[in-house]
Structure 1
C-alpha cells in the first residue's frame, strides 16, 4: 500500500490479512479485499480533523501588549490630569483647565494605536517577500521563547519522492544495460519505485522500450519480456525463498541507509541491483546547524521505520528523533515536550502533521504540503525551503525588538511629557502650551512610523 496521501511517507507499506488500511491509500499491486470499519465522522481523515480542531481551540490568545499599555496610560493620564487641575485651580479656572487639557492631549494614545500594527504590517510584508506567509501574528511573539523545533522527515527534511541512489550491475553487464532493462520492465507501472527508475533512465538519455507480457508479481515485483528475454524485478525476500544467491552485504549496506533495494533477475541469475530512496533537501543541513547555533534543539518526527530515520538523523547531525509515529503519536510527543516547560515549533507538510501543527506553540507548514496541514499552521513556507525556518526566527526576533522599541516611543515618552504637561517645572518658568503638547504627541507618532519602516528584509539575515 502507498499511504503517502495520508501519512506523507513515500515508502510502500506491506499489509497482511487482518491489518488495518487507511482510506486514501492506494493499492500498488495485487488484489485487496477490505472491510469498511468506519465512514463519515468515524473515518480516519475526520478523526484527524477533530484532533486539529481540538488543538486549535486549546490555544490561548496572547494579550495585546499595546492595548494593555494604552489602558494603563489612560488611567495614569486621567489621574495626573485631575490632580493637576485641582493643584492649579487656585491659579484660576482657565489655567487649571489649560494644564489638564495639555496632559490629556500629550497622553493621547495615537502612537500606541500604530506601534504594533505598523511593525506587524511591515514584518508580514517582508516575510511574504522572503517566502514566509505569517497567518497568525502571535507566532511572531511566541518565537522568542522557542526551545525545540520538531520536524517531520518526509517532505520537510527530505524531498518526499524516490530517486535512484545506486545502480550495481553484476559481472558481464554494464550500468546502462542494467538501467535500460529495469526501465523497460517498469515502463507501464505507476509505482513510486518504478517512476524513479524511469526518471533516472530519461535523465541519462536512455531510450525506454516497454517490455512485453508485463505482469505484476504481488508482494514481489514485476516480470516481462525485453528483447526476447524474460526478466523479473524482485526483492531480497524472493531471492532468499527461491534459494538464489546475491550480494547480501552490499544490499544490506544500502538498505541500512534507508533505501529500497530491488534486483534484476534473468532465470536464476541476478543481473544487478538498484537502490532507491528519499533524498535530503538541499537546505536541511543548513537548517539543523542554524538551529544549533541559536541554542534551539531540532528533533525529527517520522512515521518511517527506525533504520531509515536513524540514517537521515546521522546525515543531518540530529541527536534526537522519534520513528514509527502515527498522527496522534506526534501530538502526544509535542504535549510531552510542552509539559516539561518547553516551547515548541512543529514543522510538517502532510495530513498526519495537521494535529501536531495545531497543537504546537507555533505550527509551520511546508508550502508544497496538503491543504489541511497549511490550514492548521501559523506560518507557511511558500518556497518549501527548510532554511526559511531560520529566516522566520530572524524576522520574528527583529520584529519583537521593533515592537518593544515602538511601545517605548509610543508610551515611554509620557514618563517625561506628562509630568511636564502637569507643570512640575513651573517653578523655573517651564509650562507647556496645549499646542506644544499636541506637537510632542504628533512627533511620537512620526517616530513610531519611521522606526517601523526601518525594518528591512536585509536585516533578517544578519540577526
Structure 2
C-alpha cells in the first residue's frame, strides 16, 4: 500500500499541487489548497505509521491512511477529469457534431462531378448532394428542390423544404432529390464550427456557482485547519498525542471537498449538452444563471416575434415622373444585394413580375433607416419614415400619414433628390411560437417589452395580438440600446434579437439572446444563440436556466453539507456519546455524497 500510495500521491496529486501553488501565490487558498493539505497530511502520516509500525514496532500500532488517501485522490481526479472533459466538449451531443460532415464532397467542375476532400472545399465551389447524403458545407442552393433533415444540427425535428436560393447547413442530411449548392463559407467559418467554438467557450467560462464552490472551499480550508489544531490541542490535553494526532489528521482528510469539487462541473457539463441537443447554444455558462434572475425581456419585432418573411402587398408612385413599375424596379435594384428581411419581399415581387432591373452602384446601409445607392446615375434612398425627421425631405403629409396608419404593412419610401417619389408596403406574419412565449413570461412575472424600428401602427397591432402592453416604435439601433440600459437600472434584463442591427443591445443586456435559423445570426454579440427561429425556445431556455440553477444549489448543499457534518464529528464533538468519526466511515460518507451529487446532476432535464 505504501508503494501504491506514493505513486498516487506524487503522480496523481500533480494537478492539485499545481493548483494549490497558484492559489497560495495569489493568497487565495481554495479547493486545490484544501485537497493538497488533506492528501499531504494523509500521505506523510501514513509513511510515519509504516516506519513506526514496521521498524520500531510501536504499541499500540499507528493507524495508516493509504486506503483513504487512494480513494481521496481517485475521486478528486475523477472530478478534475469531468471538469476538463466538459471544457473539451460539453457532452456527446456536441462531440457528435464534429462527425456530421462527410469525408468527401461531389464537386461539379466543367460539367463533370469529381470527388474531393471536404477540407479542400473552397468558397464558390458548386457541390452536388444526392438523396440520403450529408451536406458537406454551408451554402446556397443553385439547382434542384429537396427536403433536408437538420435535426442533428439545429434540433429541428421536422423536415425542412429547400429550393433555389435557400440556405443549407453543413452536416444536415439531404432527405430526397439531388440538388446542387454553392459553398458560401469556408470550413473555419461554418455553422458547425461556430457551434463547437461556442460550446467550448461556454465550458471554459467559470460559472457563478463554481465561484461560490471555490469560495466555500476557501472557507473550509481555514475552518479545517482551525478545527484540526483545536482538536489536536484539546485531545492532547485529554488523552495525549497518540489520540490527538490521528484525530487531527482525520479532520484534515475528511475536510477534502470531494463532492464539492464535482458539484458544479457535472451540472455545467450536463446543462450545456442538453442545451445543444435542444438547439440552444450557450456561449457563456454563467448566462444560464443570469437568465434565471431576469425581470425584463426586451425583444425586437421583425425576425423575432414575426417571421420576417415579408410579402410585397402594394407599391405605388407618389410622383408623376415615375410609373408604378419604375418604383418597384428602382427598389429592386437597391435591395438585390441586401440581406435585410424586407429585401426578400421586394425581390420576390420583381421576379414574379418578370422585371429586368439594373445593378445599383455604391449601395450602402443607412443604419436604422434603410439603403442609399446609385441607379442609372441617380442617387436614391429606400428608407422608413424615421428618415424624414432628420433630413430635409419633401412629401405630402396627408398621403404619408394615411400610408403610415396601415396596421398590416411596413411602409418604405423611395426618395430621389430629397423628394418622396414612391412607397412600398410589405406585410409580415406573427410566428406561432410568439404568443406562447409571451404568455409564459407573463405567467412567471417577467415583463415582456417589444422594441421595433417599424411604425407605431404596425407595432401597436402586433403588441395587441400578442398581449404586450409595453412597446416602443420607430427606434434606431442606438435607441434600443439606451432603452436596454434604462431597464437594467430596474432589474436584470434580457434582450432577444435576430442579429440584424441588434448587436449593441445583445451585447449590452445582462443576457443577450440571438434568435434565428440562418448561419448569419449575430452570435458574436450574444450570450446564448437559439438555432431555430422559434420564440418558444425561449421558454425552454428559461426552464433549463431554472433547473440548472436549482441543481447547482442542490449539489453545493450536498457537497458542503458532507463537510459541515463530517468535520465536527471527526474532531470528536460527540465523543462523549461514543460517536467519533473514523477515516474509514468518513470515506464511505464521502463516496455516498459524491454518488448523490453525480446522480442529481444526471437527472437534469429541460422540460
Q: Normalized against structure 2, the TM-score is what?
A: 0.51
Could you tell me how far apart the structure 2 residues matched to 1:81 and 1:140 are?
Answer: 38
Q: Do 2:294 and 2:493's aligned partners in 1 also have CA atoms closer than 8 Å?
A: yes
Could you tell me how far apart the structure 2 residues matched to 1:84 and 1:165 are?
Answer: 83
Which residue of the other structure, out of 277, 282, 295, is the alignment partner of 2:445? 295
Could you tell me how far apart the structure 2 residues matched to 1:152 and 1:78 are?
Answer: 54
- Residues 429-444 of structure 1: matches in 2 within 5 Å? 429-444=578-593
Number of corresponding residues: 348
Q: 1:331 to 1:115 in 2, by over 3 A?
A: same
Could you tell me how far apart the structure 2 residues matched to 1:261 and 1:320 are?
Answer: 25
Q: Give the secondary-structure state (helix, strand or coil) at the position aligned to 1:441.
A: helix
Match of 1:121 in 2: 269
Match of 1:452 in 2: 601
Deviation at 1:140, TM superposition (A): 1.4
Larger relative contact order (Cα-Cα within 8 Å, sequence gap ≥ 6)? 1
Q: 1:186 to 1:326 in 2, by over 3 A?
A: closer
Deviations 1:281-301 (A, max 9, x none): 221111111111111110011
Q: 1:261 to 1:376 in 2, by over 3 A?
A: closer
Deviations 1:420-458 (A, max 9, x none): 1111222232222212212222221121111111112xx
Match of 1:21 in 2: none
Structure 2 segments unaligned to the other structure (5+ residues) = 1-205, 316-323, 337-341, 359-374, 383-394, 414-422
Q: Do structure 1's residue 80 and structure 2's residue 248 form an aligned pair? A: no
Which residue of the other structure, out of 463, 484, 492, is the alignment partner of 1:313? 463
Deviations 1:399-435 (A, max 9, x none): 1111111011101122221111111222232222212
Which residue of the other structure, out of 197, 201, 213, is the alignment partner of 1:66? 213
Deviations 1:133-155 (A, max 9, x none): 11111211112221100001111
Q: 1:75 to 1:220 in 2, by over 3 A?
A: closer
Could you tell me how far apart the structure 2 residues matched to 1:451 and 1:188 are?
Answer: 58
Deviations 1:183-240 (A, max 9, x none): xx879946587853775899xxx9x766899x9999799xxxxxxxxxxxxxxx99x9
**Root-mean-square deviation (Å):** 3.9
Structure 1 segments unaligned to the other structure (5+ residues) = 1-59, 168-180, 222-236, 242-247, 263-272
Match of 1:159 in 2: 307
Q: 1:377 to 1:126 in 2, by over 3 A?
A: same
Match of 1:282 in 2: 432
Q: Do structure 1's residue 427 and structure 2's residue 576 form an aligned pair? A: yes
Match of 1:350 in 2: 499
Which residue of the other structure, out of 554, 563, 570, is the alignment partner of 1:414? 563
Q: Do 2:409 and 2:425's aligned partners in 1 also have CA atoms closer than 8 Å?
A: no
Could you tell me how far apart the structure 1 residues matched to 2:308 and 2:242 are?
Answer: 76
Q: Do 1:186 and 1:197's aligned partners in 2 also have CA atoms closer than 8 Å?
A: no
Q: Give the secondary-structure state (helix, strand or coil) at the position aligned to 2:408.
A: coil
- Residues 16-415 of structure 1: matches in 2 within 5 Å? 62=208, 64-89=211-236, 90-163=238-311, 189=332, 191=335, 196=345, 255-260=406-411, 276-340=426-490, 342-368=491-517, 373-415=522-564
Q: 1:97 to 1:291 in 2, by over 3 A?
A: same
Could you tell me how far apart the structure 1 residues matched to 2:234 and 2:381 are?
Answer: 94
Deviation at 1:278, TM superposition (A): 2.0
Could you tell me how far apart the structure 1 residues matched to 2:604 and 2:570 are?
Answer: 32
Deviation at 1:258, TM superposition (A): 2.8
Could you tell me how far apart the structure 1 residues matched to 2:408 and 2:380 are?
Answer: 22
Match of 1:51 in 2: none
Could you tell me how far apart the structure 2 residues matched to 1:352 and 1:194 are?
Answer: 15
Q: Do 1:187 and 1:198's aligned partners in 2 also have CA atoms closer than 8 Å?
A: no
Q: Do 2:404 and 2:411's aligned partners in 1 also have CA atoms closer than 8 Å?
A: no
Q: Do 2:512 and 2:526's aligned partners in 1 also have CA atoms closer than 8 Å?
A: yes
Deviation at 1:274, TM superposition (A): 9.5
Q: Normalized against structure 1, the TM-score is what?
A: 0.65
Q: Do 2:257 and 2:563's aligned partners in 1 also have CA atoms closer than 8 Å?
A: no
Deviation at 1:305, TM superposition (A): 2.1
